[in-house]
Structure 1
Amino acid sequence: MDMFFRVVIHRFRRRSAHGQAAVEMAAFAPIVVVVVLVLMQGITAVVAASQIRDAARDGARAAERGDSVNRAVHSSLPSWIDLDSIGSCGRGCVRVSAQMPIGIPGYMEVSHVTISDTATFRLRGEAAWH
């Protein structure tokens, strides 16, 4: 009789642990997806801030040289960043404000965040461009 209970208990334990890996994977998968999405959003924010900084720098350089600031800023920004405004903040100084998407650019954009940057570029003399 004692042997009978041991066999029944052993089979019950083996069956109950049989689907445990699937249950753990089902619980763990959403956590992995959320972590990956947060990392992707962080990388997107860093890239957007860098692109906006470069656009402000290119605009300031164009302003100091007498070229088109709008053309310089627009050509520096990728299509997934929406330009809000371009402003002057003095001689050779340009302020760029743009919208960065929250989510996956082009696929699933939940909202937008405004990022601004200012750059100043001054020529040291006419010989600097010759």
Structure 2
Amino acid sequence: MVELMTPELDTVFHALGDATRRRMLGQLADGERTVSELAAPHAMSLAAASKHIKVLEGAGLIRRDVRGRTHVCRLEPGPLAHAHEWLAWYKRFWTDRLDVLEDLLRDEDARTAARETPAKPKPDKPQEGEL
């Protein structure tokens, strides 16, 4: 099994567990955004947006820079790469298991088809004197 910084992954998956935060990450994938720009599509106050941003920052998924009075956020892809690696291990796990299941089902189908196919009668050999 893959062992990847479990406390960090817990934090990342917690942050990703909220739809608003996932949409904010999607916005940041297109480039830097201010807190106001991140809040606008969600019809939320700056205080509410800031709480979501703090969770994303805590997970290391974004970085916030203060430029004068403006807070600018940008995506930090590293923790997403760790989460992807963790998920990829489970993808391989399930793909392998499903491949085995598929083989078993194909074998079962072949055995069932063989049992259900009626045996063809063998042509009778002509007896001596018959022709």
> TM-score of the superposition, structure 2-length normalised?
0.33
Structure 1 or 2, whichever has the larger Rg, is 2
> TM-score of the superposition, structure 1-length normalised?
0.33
Query: RCO (CA 8 Å, sep 6+): is it higher in 1 or 2?
Result: 2
Structure with the bigger percentage of helix: 2
Structure with the bigger percentage of strand: 1
